[in-house]
Amino acid sequence: MAKDTVRYPDEVVEEIDALVDDGMFESKSEFYRFSAEYVLSLINPEHDVKTFNFDEIKTELDISESDHARALGTDGGTFFLDAVITVRKQGLRGNYEAAERFIDTHYDATDQECIILEELLGTYRERPE
- pLDDT at residue 129, as a whole number: 60
Banded model confidence at residue 100, pLDDT cuts 50, 70, 90: very high
Span of 2-16, 59-73, 112-126 with lowest mean pLDDT = 59-73
pTM of the model: 0.52
Percent of the chain with pLDDT over 70: 87
Strand, helix or coil for residue 9: coil
Nearest to 42, CA basis, from 75, 76, 85, 16: 76
Per residue, the 3-state secondary structure of 25-94, as one string, reads CCCHHHHHHHHHHHHHHHHCCCCCCCCCCHHHHHHHHCCCHHHHHHHHCCCCCCHHHHHHHHHHHHHHCC
Entry field: residues in the chain: 129
